Homo-oligomer: A and B are copies of this chain.
Amino acid sequence: MFVSETKLRVRYAETDQMGYVYYGNYASYYEVGRVEAMRSIGFSYSRMEEDGVMMPVLENHSRFLKPGRYDEHLTIRTSIKEMPGIRIRFHYDILNEAGDLIHQGETLLTFLRTDNHRPCRPPSYLMEVLRPYFEPSTIND
């Protein structure tokens, strides 16, 4: 399992007149979470896209536990629980400054070639940086 944390501060632009983070804005928080999670192990989504592979989202699931509020410095905890195949699933726990879990999300993405929008295998360098987190623990020593 791979887990990584990043922080972001809620923008005024992201609130709505309920005084909460608008429910549709969590998707961009997930994006920040997964991009920074991958950057933390040396993988650049931007570089991958320049290399001709993009990752559209297939499914998204969100649970809103407590409201997010303006100016809060949120923690996005992103995890990958299974070694990706042609699809990759990210889980997100979002915590507020008090450490309360306010939100949980999950997105399933796939890999497409940018030129023809056809499915492709994940880039080998992505698999390499992720593999150490999923290797079976060695049995003997």
Chain A: residues with CB nearer than 8 A to chain B?
Answer: 9, 11-13, 15-20, 22-28, 31-32, 35, 44-46, 49, 54, 56-64, 67, 70-71, 107
Other than the known A17-B17, A18-B54, what 5 A-B pairs have Cβ atoms closer than 8 Å? A12-B35, A17-B70, A24-B24, A24-B28, A59-B64
Q: Is B17 within 8 A of A16, CB to CB? A: yes
> How far is B18's CA from A28's CA once the two chains are assembled, in angstroms?
15
For residue A13, which residues in chain B have a CB less than 8 angstroms away from its CB? 16, 22, 24, 27-28, 31
Q: A31-B24, A57-B23 are in contact. Are A46 and B17 (CB under 8 A)?
A: no
Main secondary structure of the interface of A (DSSP, over half): mixed
For residue A19, which residues in chain B have a CB less than 8 angstroms away from its CB? 17
Q: Is A64 within 8 A of B57, CB to CB? A: yes
For residue A70, which residues in chain B have a CB less than 8 angstroms away from its CB? 17, 46, 49
Closest chain B CB from A42 CB (angstroms)? 15
For residue A45, which residues in chain B have a CB less than 8 angstroms away from its CB? 12, 71
Q: Which 5 A-B pairs have the closest CB atoms?
A: A24-B27, A46-B71, A13-B28, A15-B17, A23-B57
For residue A57, which residues in chain B have a CB less than 8 angstroms away from its CB? 23, 64
From the candidates B31, B44, B56, name the one contacting A20 in the complex (CB within 8 A).
B56
Q: Is B60 within 8 A of A61, CB to CB? A: yes
From the candidates B17, B44, B63, B107, name the one contacting A12 in the complex (CB within 8 A).
B17
